[in-house]
Amino acid sequence: MHAITISEPGGPEVLVWDEVPDPIAGEGEVLVEVVASAVNRADIMQRQGFYNPPPGASPYPGLECSGRITEIGPGVSGWSVGDEACALLAGGGYAEKVAVPAGQLLPVPAGLDLKQAAALPEVVCTVWSNVFMVAHLRPTETLLVHGGSSGIGTMAIQLAKAVGAKVAVTAGTKGKLDYCAELGADILINYREQDFVAEIERATDGAGADVILDNMGAKYLDRNVQALAVNGRLAIIGMQGGIKAELNIAALLGKRAAISATSLRARPLGEKAAIVAAVREHVWPLIEGGRIRPVVDRELPMSEAGTAHQVLEDSGHIGKVLLVAP
């Protein structure tokens, strides 16, 4: 088969559409003929040499895909050859075929195009596991999403609105904030021009954000704690603003607040399967009911993965960039 390989750590030009050995469906796995994958910021870090695949995972990038099952490995039940599905992956989505643990498969939501389903697994599982399973966002609460127009952000806005919460977002341009408003965001903050701590305080009558979904890490740690409400929960999922920062523990204690940090990719198979099952139960009906949709900025041929990475690095997108297999 063909897959995107990383010839050496570096810029988008190191991504090469190459001939490689076919994957094999092992115990508990199925083989999927990939129709589409989607780009995640973690793929860029992997390409640059800063985010190696966990042991046993495919060396090729790609944390999600959609496609058709062509082979069922030993010990798999509930899926058949020919089924259409989308899947959460530990790697290997930028390829014509990928082996997938059966617990990470999801049916294509009714009413959704098979290609578009590739934009769902990574963002839905990340948002659901962090905002709902860990931070327990409630309908009466306010969620602050940093990077509201990102793949993650566009899903977080829709999911939080679907449960009835109030949503604040940060983004770097008016156009992106306008798009977040179309998705339902209530409080719009331009992080280049406004101080999000002051804006959250103003918009919540001084109460603060009950939950913050953070992509920035170190750079925003102190200000995120300042922006939290009493009993607030800060869910860190990214390190775009660095990995080391000082934490004012007194500020955290005073608010009886909590900080969590998770990474989906390296979690054990059982934990991923539990997240996927929860997503199927709670989120799939919202998609099938038309309340939530994948936000796809553009589709590119998979062989042009380098161009797709450049789009993300330039922040030239809203939502997800799809890579379509030949």
Ligand X SMILES: NC(=O)c1ccc[n+]([C@@H]2O[C@H](COP(=O)([O-])OP(=O)(O)OC[C@H]3O[C@@H](n4cnc5c(N)ncnc54)[C@H](OP(=O)(O)O)[C@@H]3O)[C@@H](O)[C@H]2O)c1
Nearer CB in complex with ligand X: 30/212 = 212
Contact 177, 190 (CB under 8 A): yes
| Shortest CB 253 distance to ligand X, Å | 26
Nearer CB in complex with ligand X: 146/161 = 146
Backbone angles phi, psi at 157, to 5 degrees: -60, -50
Binding-site member from 171, 234, 235, 295 for ligand X (CB under 6 A): 171
The yes or no reply on residue 128 touching ligand X (CB under 6 A) is no
CB-count burial class (<10 Å; 0-12, 13-18, 19+) for 52: exposed
| Shortest CB 83 distance to ligand X, Å | 26
| Shortest CB 300 distance to ligand X, Å | 15
- For residue 220, the number of C-alpha atoms closer than 13 Å in the C-beta half-sphere is 27
Restricting to residues 233-292, which ones interact with ligand X according to CB under 6 A? 237-238, 240, 262-264
Query: Site size for ligand X, by CB under 6 A?
Result: 28
Q: Which residue is nearest to ligand X (CB)?
A: 238
Amino acid type, 201: E
Closest CA to 51 of 42, 59, 60: 42
Binding-site member from 41, 115, 161, 309 for ligand X (CB under 6 A): 41
Contact 213, 131 (CB under 8 A): yes
| Shortest CB 87 distance to ligand X, Å | 15
Task: Quote the CA–CA distance of 163 and 139 in Å, as a whole number.
Answer: 6
Task: Quote the CA–CA distance of 79 and 107 in Å, as a whole number.
Answer: 10
| Shortest CB 90 distance to ligand X, Å | 11
Contact 80, 54 (CB under 8 A): no
The yes or no reply on residue 12 touching ligand X (CB under 6 A) is no
| Shortest CB 133 distance to ligand X, Å | 12
Distances (CA, A) of 39 to 186, 213, 280, 298: 27, 20, 22, 11
Nearer CB in complex with ligand X: 17/191 = 191
The yes or no reply on residue 158 touching ligand X (CB under 6 A) is no
Q: Which residues bind ligand X (CB under 6 A)?
A: 40-42, 122, 126, 146-147, 149-153, 170-173, 176, 191, 215-216, 237-238, 240, 262-264, 312, 315
